[in-house]
Amino acid sequence: MSITFPLPIKAVVIDLDGTLLDTAEDLADSAEAMLEDLDRPTVPLAEIKTYIGNGVSRLVKRALTRDMNAEPDAGLYEQAIGLFQKHYGEWVSRKSRPFPGVVDGLQALKAAGFHLACITNKAERFTVPLLQDTGLHDFFELILSGDTLPEKKPSPLPLLHACQVFGVEPDELLLIGDSLNDTQAARAAGCPVFCVPYGYNRGRPVSELDLDAVVATLAEAAGKIVRKA
């Protein structure tokens, strides 16, 4: 997709973990507690960060196997996921905070009249309290969690659903994310996509991804788009 700036847009959808909020410590603490409960070796925070971005299920599997794609024993996994969800439910917003520029960026986008949505692979039971506790919930007209629809990112379904809700075409909806999942979903849906460089892209620079711009902050992203009439 060939684009020029400022990009004419009607709606902006934003990823949660690694884009809006730095959630790594709460996720890591929950994974560490899960591993301790199972009498298994713990994993350093820097390594846990590379495991984030494909939902809790994959995070737990990676923490158990210390491999990006391996499948642990099914019985062990069932025990582990229950323990992780227990800890994370208690600690979901204990240390998580908005990244620099997020609140300013959301305020600018809202003031400019864009439709705003948050689209995440995190389950609704964690997404809603996390957004509420960090003061971001009320910025969004639409919140799509990993279990809201039959498919989640990198499927284009959440983005296409947002287009339907807002009454916009895919090329009028911008996704701002931080990872391969986001760029794959945007390209499959036909949406433009920006990525921030500070998030959770399995330790790889986002500049290597198929995207339209790397933006240092959400505030910078707001300056690259204009409200389409």
CATH code of residue 172: 3.40.50.1000
Tell whether the model's pLDDT for residue 1 goes beyond 60: no
Give the CATH number, domain containing residue 74.
Answer: 1.10.150
Question: Does residue 73 sit in the same domain as residue 163?
Answer: no
Tell whether 175 is covered by a domain.
yes
Question: Does residue 72 sit in the same domain as residue 181?
Answer: no
Mean pLDDT of 34-51: 91
pLDDT of amino acid 192: 98
State which of 67, 91, 115 marks the end of a domain: 91
CA 132, 8, 101, 92 torsion-angle sign? positive
User: Structural domain tally of the chain?
Assistant: 2
Burial 75-103 (b: 16+ CB within 10 A, else e): eebeebbebbbebbeebbbeebebbebbb
In 3-state terms, what secondary structure has residue 73?
coil
Tell whether 1 is covered by a domain.
no
Active site residues: 15
Q: What is the pTM of this model?
A: 0.95
Domain that holds residue 73: 24-91
Tell whether 2 is covered by a domain.
no
State which of 43, 64, 91 marks the end of a domain: 91
Question: Does residue 158 sit in the same domain as residue 70?
Answer: no
Question: Does residue 178 sit in the same domain as residue 213?
Answer: yes
pLDDT band at residue 52 using 50, 70 and 90 as cut-offs: confident
Question: Does residue 208 sit in the same domain as residue 156?
Answer: yes
Mean pLDDT of 42-66: 89
Question: Does residue 18 sit in the same domain as residue 42?
Answer: no
Mean pLDDT of 11-34: 96
Question: Does residue 82 sit in the same domain as residue 170?
Answer: no
Mean pLDDT of 133-161: 97
DSSP letter for 17, please: B
- What's the rounded Cα separation, in Å, for the pair 170 and 156? 10
State which of 91, 114, 142 marks the end of a domain: 91
